[in-house]
Structure 1
C-alpha cells in the first residue's frame, strides 16, 4: 500500500469503462478512495462538491474536453490534476501543462506509474503553498549572520551535533526539538542551523511565527481547510504541516497558540497525522518539528497557560540559549563576527570598533541580546564612521538618548556635584565598596560585575580574597 495515496480522495474522469475500473481497482488497493465518472459534467459536479486530493481526467470525453476541468480544479483549491492523453498527443499534453495541469500520462500506461506521477503533482501543490507563505514579509528568511557559538556555547553546540547524529540514524519520525531563550538570543538561527546541518537539509524548512497568526485563521494556516469549512473558505487549501511534509516545520513562539491548537499540534507529533478544518479524514505527515519560546514552557504549563502534555512531549530534546549578557567575552567576538558580515553587505572593505565601543560592548547588559547588538552595529555602519564605529546608544555619542546629560558631564559617570571630603578617605576601602556594589547590582554574578566596572574577573577574586584575610 502506498503511503502517498492512503486515505486520499481521487476523482477519475474517463469514459472508457474498463480503464476506469482498472484505475479504480489499483488506486483503492493502495488505500485511496475513488470516485469514477464518465463525462465532463459529472467530473465538474464532483470537483465542485467533493473534498478531492487528486484528479485524473481523460482529454476526450463524450460531452467535452477534460482540459476544461483544469480551471475548475484550480478554482477549488489548486487540486492537482493529471491529464490522460492518447498515444502521441504531445501537443495536447503541452497545452494541458500550459493551462495549469500538474502532469500528464500518455495512454496506454501502467497504473503502477500513478504513485510517482501523483507524488510529483503533490510536490508541486506544496511548492505553490510554500511560495505564497514565503512571499509574506513576516515569513521572509532572516539573516543567519547572528549565529555564532563562540567559546561560551561550545557545550551547547556539542549537544546540537549529537541531535544531528541521532537524526541520521533515523529514517523518519524525528523527535521534536524545543529551543527556549530570551527574545533576540538567536532561537530562529539555531533552528535554521539544525535544519541546514541535519538529515533533511535538502528538504523544505517552513518557518511560522505563531504570535503573528490571527487566532481565527491559525488552525487553517497550520492544518489547511476544505472548501466551505467556514465563511471565506471558497476553495480548499493545504496547511503548513502538509506543505512541510518530509522537511522541517519551525513553530516560533509556540506558546501563542490556543490550547485547542496545542492539542492538534500534539496529535500531529505523536500520530504523524493531521486533519483539515472541515474534513473528517486524517492525512499522514512526516515533519520534524522545532518549537521555540521566549518564555519557560515549564512555568507556563505549571500555571495552566500551556498544555502540560504538549510541554512534556516537546521537552524530550530541549535547549536554552543563554542571554548575551552571560556569554562573557563572546559578546565582543560576536560583534566582530557580525561586523564582518554587515561590512560586506554595505560594501565597506575596512570597518572596526573604537576602543571605547569595544569596552561598551563588553560591559553593556544587552537586554535585546544578539538582535539588539546586530541592529546597533548596522545603524553605526550606516550613520557613523565605519573605520571607528561607535554606537548611538553610548553615553556622549551624538544622537544617543542621554546625549544631553553626557554633554554637560563630558560622558563621565561621576556626579559633577561630588567632591573629595575634607577629612579624606581610604582609596582601598572605596575600591572594595565599588566591587561589592557591582556584585550586588549584578545579583552575585562576578563575571557580570567585572564587566560592569571594567576589570578582570580574577581581579575581583583577588580583592575579595585579600579583604577576607
Structure 2
C-alpha cells in the first residue's frame, strides 16, 4: 500500500467552497500533491460539473451562497465511487453527521490544517473499499477448514512455494502473480489461501472470485468497477474487486473463462498497477497481489486462441501444478485421515477412524473428483454410518488381500498383456516429475540406485533416437 498520508497520484478532486481564500489554499495544496483539481463556488456550478464528470474525491463546504451541500447528497449528485469530505464551521457537527448519513465519508471542522485533507480522503477511500470487500469476504482465513495439507507427493510443490515466499518477503510491494493449474477439486483455492496467509500480506484482505460464474457482460464491471450510467441498469457506481483488494490478494479462479477484453484489462492491472472503471477515463492505481488458477492448462487455451499469449506469459512466471489425486499414490490415506479429523471436529464426533477395509476401498478408487470427492465420500460415510469406525462400504468391494501398497487394487493384469519396460519407464518419468528432475531424489523414491536410473534414462533415449 502507498503511504497512508498521501493521495494516489493523479486523483481527480472537486473543491466546492465559496470562500475564495480557503478555496485557493486548498487547490494549491492538493495540486502540489499531484492531484487534478476542479474548483467551483456554488451549488449550481457543482451540479453542472457533476453531470459531466466523475471525481475520486470531493471537498465540500456545507454552507454555500445558494443553499446547503446536503442537497447534492440527497439528490445523489455524487458518484458512489466519490469519497466526499464535508467542511463545516465550529458548531456545525450535527449537520456534518447528517451529511455522513447521506453518504459523505468524513468531515473536517474549520479551521483545519491542510495536511488533514489527504488523511480524510484516504479514510473515505478505505471505507468505500471495505464495503466492497465485505460483499466477497467468505469464511475467515484462520479457520482450520482452509488449511492446505501437504502430503509427500507434493514435496516439489512445497519447495517451489517456499522459494516464492522468500522472494515475496524481499519485495513486499509489486509482488509477481502466481499461476496454479490443476484439475477441478485438487485444492487450488485452498492453496491460494495458504499462500496468502504465509506471505507478507497475510494481515491484508484476501478476495476470491470464480471467473466462470461472471457473465461476460458483467465481468469487467465486477473486476474493475463502473461509473453510474456506464451501461444499462448501472444506476449506481461500483467499486471493482481489483480496487477492493488494493494492498492485499485477489484470487481469480478459472481465469481462462474471462473474455479477451477482460483479459487485456487484467494484464494492464498486473503490469502497470492501473485500471479504469467501466465508463471512466480516469486511471486508478492499485497494488494487488494476483493469484490465478485454471483447471485447464492455459498454454493449451493459448494454442486454441481462447487466451491471450501475453497475459499467459505474465502469469506463467511463478507456475505451480497440483497433480490429480489418482497420481498421488499412497497420499490418499494420510490425506483422508487429515480430512477426517477436520470433519470429526465439524460434526462434533471425536474418535472417528478408518477400518482396514475402509482404507482398502479408498486406495481402490479412481478419484475423478480429486480431493473434493474424497472429502465428500468421507462426510457421506460419517453421516450415514454408525459408530466410530468407517468402512465406506458404499464405495464397493475392498481390495484383495495381500495387494501391494503401491498398486491400485482395482487394476488387474490385462489378458492381452502389456510392456513391463514401458511401465518402468513411466515410473522413472513420474519420479523425476515429482522431484523436479532430481535424479538422486527420484532414485530414492523408486528404491533403486542412481546408476540404475541413469541406465534406464540412457536406454530410453537410445530407443527414442531414430537409427
TM-score (norm 1): 0.81
Give how far 1:70 is off: 3.1
1:22 aligns with 2:25: yes
Q: Map of 1:23-38 to 2, 5 A cutoff?
A: 23-38=26-41
Which shifted more, 25-34 or 288-297? 25-34
Instruction: Report the counterpart of residue 79 of structure 2 in structure 1.
Output: 76
Which shifted more, 44-53 or 159-168? 44-53
Selected match of 2:7 from 4, 24, 49: 4
Instruction: Report the counterpart of residue 123 of structure 2 in structure 1.
Output: 120
Which shifted more, 260-269 or 145-154? 145-154
Which shifted more, 100-109 or 290-299? 100-109
Instruction: Report the counterpart of residue 408 of structure 1 in structure 2.
Output: none
Flag structure 1 segments of 5+ consecutive residues without an equivalent.
397-410, 414-430, 448-456, 460-469
Q: Deviation per CA, 1:169-193: give whole Å up to 9, x if none.
A: 1131111100001110000111111
Instruction: Report the counterpart of residue 338 of structure 1 in structure 2.
Output: 339
Q: Deviation per CA, 1:302-358: give whole Å up to 9, x if none.
A: 232211111111111001011111222221111111111111111112211222111
Q: Please identify the structure whose Cα radius of gyration is greater.
A: 1
Selected match of 1:96 from 89, 95, 99: 99
Q: Deviation per CA, 1:221-247: give whole Å up to 9, x if none.
A: 111112222122222222111111111
CA distance in 2 between counterparts of 1:17 and 1:75 reads 23
Q: Map of 1:185-264 to 2, 5 A cutoff?
A: 185-264=186-265
1:309 aligns with 2:310: yes
Instruction: Report the counterpart of residue 284 of structure 1 in structure 2.
Output: 285
CA distance in 2 between counterparts of 1:209 and 1:438 reads 43
CA distance in 2 between counterparts of 1:433 and 1:352 reads 35
Instruction: Report the counterpart of residue 419 of structure 1 in structure 2.
Output: none
Over 3 Å counting, the alpha-carbon distance change for 1:388 and 1:11 in structure 2 is same
Over 3 Å counting, the alpha-carbon distance change for 1:438 and 1:95 in structure 2 is farther
Q: Map of 1:416-431 to 2, 5 A cutoff?
A: none
Maintained 8 Å contact 1:376/1:392: no
Instruction: Report the counterpart of residue 355 of structure 1 in structure 2.
Output: 356
CA distance in 1 between counterparts of 2:423 and 2:357 reads 22
Over 3 Å counting, the alpha-carbon distance change for 1:3 and 1:171 in structure 2 is farther
CA distance in 2 between counterparts of 1:412 and 1:117 reads 67
Over 3 Å counting, the alpha-carbon distance change for 1:75 and 1:82 in structure 2 is closer
CA distance in 1 between counterparts of 2:175 and 2:161 reads 14
Maintained 8 Å contact 2:360/2:399: no
CA distance in 2 between counterparts of 1:24 and 1:44 reads 19
Maintained 8 Å contact 2:333/2:363: yes
Maintained 8 Å contact 1:206/1:244: yes
CA distance in 2 between counterparts of 1:339 and 1:440 reads 39
CA distance in 2 between counterparts of 1:156 and 1:162 reads 10
Maintained 8 Å contact 1:51/1:227: no
CA distance in 1 between counterparts of 2:424 and 2:293 reads 27
Maintained 8 Å contact 1:210/1:252: yes
CA distance in 2 between counterparts of 1:377 and 1:213 reads 31
Which shifted more, 245-254 or 378-387? 378-387
Over 3 Å counting, the alpha-carbon distance change for 1:145 and 1:239 in structure 2 is closer
Give how far 1:92 is off: 3.5
Instruction: Report the counterpart of residue 266 of structure 1 in structure 2.
Output: 267
Over 3 Å counting, the alpha-carbon distance change for 1:84 and 1:63 in structure 2 is same
Q: Secondary structure at the match of 2:251?
A: strand
Q: Map of 1:296-445 to 2, 5 A cutoff?
A: 296-391=297-392, 393-395=394-396
CA distance in 1 between counterparts of 2:399 and 2:322 reads 34
CA distance in 1 between counterparts of 2:78 and 2:377 reads 48
Maintained 8 Å contact 1:352/1:386: no
Instruction: Report the counterpart of residue 460 of structure 2 in structure 1.
Output: none
Give how far 1:254 is off: 0.6
Over 3 Å counting, the alpha-carbon distance change for 1:125 and 1:188 in structure 2 is same
Maintained 8 Å contact 2:227/2:238: yes
CA distance in 2 between counterparts of 1:393 and 1:8 reads 62
Maintained 8 Å contact 1:67/1:83: no
Q: Deviation per CA, 1:203-225: give whole Å up to 9, x if none.
A: 11111111000011111111111
Over 3 Å counting, the alpha-carbon distance change for 1:156 and 1:443 in structure 2 is same
Which shifted more, 160-169 or 75-84? 75-84
Instruction: Report the counterpart of residue 406 of structure 2 in structure 1.
Output: none
Name the Cα RMSD after superposition: 3.4
Give how far 1:33 is off: 1.8
Q: Secondary structure at the match of 1:237?
A: coil
CA distance in 2 between counterparts of 1:47 and 1:337 reads 57
CA distance in 1 between counterparts of 2:290 and 2:352 reads 39
Maintained 8 Å contact 1:324/1:370: yes
Maintained 8 Å contact 2:361/2:396: no
Which shifted more, 3-12 or 282-291? 3-12
CA distance in 1 between counterparts of 2:234 and 2:374 reads 43
Flag structure 2 segments of 5+ consecutive residues without an equivalent.
401-411, 429-444, 448-467
Give how far 1:458 is off: 8.6
CA distance in 2 between counterparts of 1:54 and 1:71 reads 17
